[in-house]
Amino acid sequence: MTGSARRALGIVALAVVLAVGCTVAGFWQWHRGEQRERAIHTVIANYTADPVTLDALLTAPDAPLPAEDAWRPVVLEGTYVPGATVLLRNRPVAGTPSFHLLAPFTVAAPGTAFDGAVVVVDRGWVPIGTDASGDVEVPEPPSCTVTLEVRVRPAERRSDRDAPAGQAHSIFPAQVLGSAGLAPETVVAGTYASLVSESPPPAVVPGPLAAPSTDYGPHRSYALQWWVFALGGLVAFGVIAYREWRGLGADDAPSDDDAPADDDAARSVPAGTRPARPRPARSRRPTAEEEEDALIDAQDALAATQASETRSR
């Protein structure tokens, strides 16, 4: 196999690898776009729906929240656990560094499996001040029995990061309650609540939680771009590989020394290569001996010519 053929095959292999990678990346972005679209449809369907009770959505306190019920309004009655608010870190609001206030809430629902269960409620946010040490004034929730309207959401994943006492990196209910120093018997483990309103209202109201975004994002356009890159790469590398296969690479161009000496040699040149053009012989400067021999030959020829002319007279 010639060098051009080897390079051409290498270029084709590289083109295939790049095309496969771009195609996979495109499908990944497309699937992310589909997930985002489903999430937006869920928000649109549930965000302004009529409130229900917690047992209408969950079969048990430790049951996960069905994905189609995310953001559904729920009415809760009960009391906040006093002095147990946990600060949620790294959740800026509109570009402002802030702590979210995670307050354990004991549900009062006689006759259901949720009576006495503790649910984590995200009450809103406060700015962090000059640093994230947690040295902020935390507004206390109402100390009496209250009625909450919340929107339920699936619990976040457990965080592997360490946090200072009384703080957390994610809304994983068991982890939040551990940061608060609580170990209740019954925990709503797969769900947390985003506060809408409290009745009666507290003395100090935290910053309200923003509505979820319904922007579809750039995932679909990114997928199309990846697929265009895959097709463009195949075409571009295909052209380069074809030129290499045809022997048009600069370092594979035939040299003058490789020119065929006769017709048989010319016929032995592989098909598709360009035979070298015959090069005219270079003139060579004669040596001193050759010049002297030429001078003597010229003198002898002149003498013979003169002798022939004398005899003819």
Distances (CA, A) of 92 to 88, 95, 110, 124, 207: 10, 6, 38, 12, 12
Write down the pLDDT at residue 11: 87
Give yes or no for a contact between 106 and 79, defined as CB atoms under 8 angstroms apart.
yes
CB atoms within 10 A of CB 20: 11
Give yes or no for a contact between 151 and 211, defined as CB atoms under 8 angstroms apart.
no
| 107 or 297, higher pLDDT | 107
Q: How much of the chain exceeds pLDDT 90, in percent?
A: 58
pLDDT at 79 over 60: yes
Write down the pLDDT at residue 76: 97
pLDDT at 132 over 80: no
DSSP string covering 238-259? HHHHHHHHTT--GGGSPPGGG-
Could you tell me the pLDDT band of residue 266, with boundaries at 50, 70 and 90?
very low
pLDDT at 260 over 70: no
pLDDT at 265 over 50: no
Give yes or no for a contact between 279 and 261, defined as CB atoms under 8 angstroms apart.
no
